[in-house]
Structure 1
Amino acid sequence: MSIFKRKDGEIQPYWPIGKYQLRLPFIHYRLETPELIQGVVIFTIGLSMIEIMRTVLGMSYEAALAIVILHLILMVLPSTLGVPFVSGFITPVLPVLIVFLGKFEPGPEAVRALIAVQFVTALIFFLLGVTGLGQKVIKILPNSLKAGILIGAGIGAIMGEIQEGGRLAATPITLTIGGMLCLYIMFSLHFKKLYAHNRFFKKIANFGIVPAILIAMVVGWIVGEYSMPQVQWGITIPNIAELWNVTPFVVGFPSLSLLISAIPTGILAYIIAYGDIIVGENIVRRANEARKDEKIQYDMNQVHMVTAVRGFLHSFFAPHPGLAGPLFSAGTASVAERYTFGRKAMDSIFSGSNSLVISMICALFVLPLVTFFQPILPVAYSITLILTGYLCVTLGVKQVNTEEEIGVAVVMAVVLALYGAAYGLMIGMVLYFLIQRKNLLSLKKDGMEKAVTEKQEEKAEQIS
């Protein structure tokens, strides 16, 4: 229950803070039981980032866990201030980020590099949010470069798992079963048929990749590829001392040259995150069309600014490889789907979004849950990357239509996956001007390219 009640057709009650809408549980919205239950399971996705922080960045488990806790706490900020999304990671940028971080020695050097990327990404969000130029910047970017970024990130994600010495070689049975099951649940036409006709499979789908992680965990125990958990009882207490040791106040602030070298990766992160924002807007728009009892009000600049704030806070106090993205797509889609069932099922889009994140935060403080999942964090991370890789490749391919666009996108993607964002962007731009442009020095779009772009925009409007 909540103190303030919404009249049909109005905005969910809030306290105004400038142009933002502050909402608190039990005051402005009720907690939703299904989302509270779901959060206790899917919080494991956040734990999967610990593996990156331990291996690539050289952090201790205690420091990584403290960062995950702070990240989840900050995830509630956007929906508390009026953004109807469940925020999350910029997951597709992880493979590119890992390539960039791989140039640095694990430890303070790699942590400084991550801080640089996090700060640059937050700064891009801030500047484009303040000026309102985000949408215009993305429209200028050629489709072939958008596709190259996504496909390259996808190739990098899958390559890292299947290459010699990767996790597939170390745990072949667990990862093969978990990865295949994840792709089946998320993308299979057969599973979609089951989903359409069976409530049980709908519930499975609402948990996203978690069922695949849980089954992979059991398989790993059975075949001996992962050890049984050493469950501890009590409350998870963040190790503040370990957390402080990985902040820029201890490891040092990034140099100007490091910040400059982080710009290409930050640009890629923003481009991918902007795509996530569009996905989130479409999800919320469809949900809003199904419900006339609530008016959902927010704008793109709000999304940019709260994402920037989260990014800056992380860069100074808790560097996180997820880069504080604007959308947790699986969580947002799950909330929006149940929202369409009506007000009795979910009072407000904000009650659903906030309940999910609040539950995930609470679950992290339950020490038995955290220690139960600790041994299988590597496979959870691998399944996340496999899903990300598949999704990035499919989304990237949809961006291109002509032979020229396909060629530029694929070559750029391979370079990006192997050598990182800077070389990928450079090769992509050079090939775009050499291959796709009829007038090399003209900034206006060629007739064919303009027609293709307009055709894609029409398709996007039809889909949304």
Structure 2
Amino acid sequence: MAIVRENGKEQPYVPFGPFKLRIPFVHFRWEWPEAIQGALLVAVPMGAIPVLQETLGVSFEVALTMMILNGILYILHPTFGDPLFPGWITPAIPLVLGYAAGFEPGVDRIHSIIALQLSMAVVFTLMGVTGWAKKIVSKVPVSLRGGIILGAGIAAVHSVVNPNGRMKGMEITIMAGAVICYLVLFSWRFYVAKDKNTFLNQLSKFGMLPGFIVALILGPLFKELPMPQIQMGFSSLRFGELISGYTVFGAPGFPPLEYFVKAIPLVFAAYIIAFGDFVLAEVVTKDADEVRKDEIIDFNANRSNMISGFRNLIMGLFAPYAPLNGPLWAGGTIAAVERYKHGRKSMDSIFGGMGSYIIAMAIAAFFTPVISLLRPALPAGLSLTLIVQGFACAYIAMEMLKTKEERGVAGIMAIFLAFRGASWGLAVGVILHLVIGVRDMVAPKVEKEAKSA
């Protein structure tokens, strides 16, 4: 039985340097509603499997092994004091795919992903230890930040809808699934309706899953996807094959320095994207903290940075993971937080909700019947993830950009970023920012000259 928290205090923990150690079932209790959601939503992390197969050329079994290891590492966040459900750096996926495509398949490409992920580990850890993240990111012009996010969105959607893109041969499946995803995640009509309808309200908590289920059903019906072949048993893990064929401890070895240099532009872009997750995480947890007076929620971006850095380090060494390791899965975190707001009787502690969600999702990945049911729809699932990400990136970027100069710079930069890669995108963005300027830089000078005239 978990230790009981005093009303109005933090959930009990063991001090551990900058971390707050909470052992599952000892410092927080099991929450069945989140556990059930986690088991059902294992389809979401399975979306990484086709990304890994495409970038690294791994088998399905090796990719599944990597996915399971990544899922197990998620528990580090609530265990060490971070009240979040972590995830990938999802908007960066199309940028990573484009970056990886610039290397030859095999050792060359494996080295590129290892170097990228280890570089991300260094950056996350450095930002966490020093607390520089906010200071550095605030120095990056809004036009460049918006351009990075908008470019990621354009690249994501283009990779699906271009004539030879991921949607080819699955048009009905993808479009139908995308409509459902957009309806559940972004529709204002749906948002209003769910407050009056219990079924829609529950449906809204499952994020992309309804769209994925529609794709899973329609794909075989329209012969765009094969029928699932349900198998029994438990997942066969291929750690030996993974270590020997795809890591620094096996045949590929440690990447030469040149790979780390080539990764720098994408590392910068990916961290700018990830920083947005820290901002969102702070808003979400602060809102929950204001609603629930019985528990103090301590979200610390520096701590979250360090845990994210450690996850990137482990994956970079033992299972190079193209989606990378970010601090937040917004869908899972928000779903748990919304139920948390209903009071202590609904969810005792936010750490119990996040921990149960993560543990159940990791356990579900070990069951072959679940994996074999979802496997045929994984290509469609990845396409839906990218299409959803494109919508989110588009509106986030547009909200950031206030002046015509910022919008113009960001728009051109985004196109270069999406179609020529991170190096071109960042170079064009910096040059345009210097040439065009921004209104808040030149306006005071113009006003001063006008007054003195």
- Structure 1 partner of 2:287: 286
1:164 is matched with: 163
Aligned-residue offset at 1:83: 0.3
The CA distance in 1 between the partners of 2:59 and 2:182, in whole Å, is 31
Residue in structure 2 matched with residue 457 of structure 1 by the alignment: none
Match of 2:18 in 1: 19
TM-score (norm 1): 0.93
Distance 2:444 2:93 in 1: 31
In 2: Cα distance, 1:242 partner to 1:106 partner: 17
Residue 241 of structure 1 aligns with which residue? 240
- After TM superposition, the structure 1 = structure 2 runs for residues 25-64 of structure 1, keeping only pairs within 5 Å, are 25-64=24-63
- Structure 1 SS opposite 2:346: coil
What displacement does 1:449 show? 8.8
Larger mean Cα displacement after TM superposition, 89-98 or 119-128 = 119-128
In structure 2, the partner of 1:455 is none
Following the alignment from structure 1 to structure 2, what is the Cα–Cα distance between the partners of residues 449 and 387? 40
Which residue number corresponds to residue 389 of structure 1?
A: 390
The 2-side partners of 1:247 and 1:26 are apart by 34
Do structure 1's residue 154 and structure 2's residue 149 form an aligned pair? no
The equivalent of 1:206 in structure 2 is 205
1-structure distance, mates of 2:285, 2:198 = 23
Matched residue, 1:446: 441
For residues 414 and 350 of structure 2, the distance between their equivalents in structure 1, rounded to whole angstroms, comes to 37
- Report matched runs for 1:124-163 at 5 Å: 124-163=123-162
Q: Deviations over 1:43-67 (max 9, x none)?
A: 1111111101112321111111110
CA-CA distance at 1:448 after TM superposition: 4.1
Please, what TM-score do these two structures have when normalized by structure 2?
A: 0.96
**CA displacement at 1:167 relative to structure 2:** 2.1
Deviation at 1:230, TM superposition (A): 1.5
Aligned-partner SS, 2:15:
strand
Query: What are the within-5 Å matches in structure 2 for residues 24-423 of structure 1?
Result: 24-244=23-243, 245-250=245-250, 251-423=252-424
**Corresponding letter in the other structure for 2:88:** F
Alignment partners' CA distance in 2, 1:219 and 1:437:
48
Could you tell me how far 1:208 is from its partner in structure 2?
0.3
- Identify the range of structure 1 (339-348 vs 37-46) with the bigger mean alpha-carbon deviation: 37-46
Contact 1:90 1:324 in 2 (8 A): yes
Give, in whole Å, the separation in 2 of the partners of 1:181 and 1:83. 31
Q: By how many angstroms is 1:19 displaced?
A: 2.4
**1: CA distance, partners of 2:107 / 2:173:** 33
Distance (Å, rounded) in 2 between the aligned partners of 1:341 and 1:437: 45
* Residues 288-329 of structure 1, C-alpha deviations (whole Å, 9 max, x = no match): 100000011242210111111011111100111121110000
Relative to structure 1, the CA distance from residue 216 to residue 437 in structure 2 (aligned partners, 3 Å threshold; closer, same or farther) is closer
Distance 2:391 2:325 in 1: 22
1:364-423 CA distance string (max 9 Å, x none):
011110111111100011100000011001100111111111110000000000011111
Between the aligned partners of 1:25 and 1:259, the Cα distance in structure 2 is 37
The equivalent residue for 2:432 is: 431
Residue 164 of structure 2 aligns to a residue whose secondary structure is coil
Residue type of the partner of 1:121? M
Q: Does the 8 A contact of 1:63 with 1:246 survive in 2?
A: no
**One-letter amino acid matched to 2:247:** T
| Matched residue, 2:9 | 10
**Contact 1:59–1:107 (8 Å) recurs in 2:** no
Q: 1:449 to 1:424 in 2, by over 3 A?
A: farther
User: Contact conserved, 2:406 with 2:438, CA < 8 A, in 1?
Assistant: no
The alignment partner of 1:169 has SS state of coil
Q: Residue 327 of structure 1: SS of its match in structure 2?
A: coil
* Partner AA of 1:416 in structure 2: L
Encode CA deviations 1:25-51: one digit per residue, 9 max, x unaligned.
Answer: 221111101001000111111111110
> Which amino acid in structure 1 is aligned with residue 45 of structure 2?
G
CA 1:449 to 1:296, structure 2 compared with 1: closer, same or farther past 3 Å? farther
Question: Given residue 90 of structure 1, which amino acid in structure 2 is its aligned partner?
Answer: I
Cα distance per residue 1:161-187 (max 9 Å; x no partner): 011211222211101101111111111
Deviation at 1:239, TM superposition (A): 1.0
CA contact (8 A) 1:154 1:393 kept: yes
Distance in 2 (alpha carbons) for counterparts of 1:449 and 1:257? 44
Contact between 2:285 and 2:299, CA under 8 Å: does it hold in 1?
no
Question: Residue 396 of structure 1 aligns to which amino acid in structure 2?
Answer: A
Q: Give the whole-Å Cα distance in 2 for the aligned partners of 1:447 and 1:348.
A: 50
Aligned residue for 1:16, secondary structure, equals strand
Amino acid corresponding to residue 66 of structure 2 in structure 1: I
Using the TM superposition, name which of 273-282 and 20-29 deviates more.
20-29
Measure the CA separation in 2 of the matches of 1:253 and 1:379.
34
Structure 2 distance, partners of 1:122, 1:26, is: 29
Q: Do the aligned partners of residues 200 and 449 (structure 1) sit closer, same or farther apart at CA in structure 2, a change above 3 Å counting?
A: farther
SS at match of 1:48: helix
Between the aligned partners of 1:182 and 1:105, the Cα distance in structure 2 is: 35
Q: Find the residue that maps to 1:5 and give its secondary structure.
A: coil
Amino acid at match of 2:103: F
Q: Secondary structure at the match of 1:446?
A: helix
Q: Distance in 1 between matches of 2:410 and 2:62?
A: 38
Which amino acid is 1:247 matched to?
T
Structure 2 residues without counterparts, runs of 5 or longer:
446-453
Identity %: 38
- SS for the counterpart of 1:35 is helix
Question: What is the CA distance between 1:447 and its match in structure 2?
Answer: 5.7
Alpha-carbon distance between aligned partners in 2 of 1:404 and 1:353, rounded to the nearest angstrom: 42
Matched residue count = 443
Amino acid at match of 2:26: I
Look up the equivalent residue of 1:406 and give its one-letter code. Answer: R
Q: What is the rounded CA distance, in whole Å, between the counterparts of 2:105 and 2:203 in structure 1?
A: 38
- 1: CA distance, partners of 2:407 / 2:323: 29
For 1:281 and 1:158, how far apart are their aligned partners in 2?
A: 28
Matched position secondary structure for 2:36:
helix
Partner of 2:450: none
Q: CA deviation at 1:285?
A: 0.6
Letter in 1 for 2:343: G
- Residue 343 to residue 59, structure 1, CA distance change in 2 (3 Å): same
Structure 1 runs not aligned, ≥5 long:
439-444, 451-464
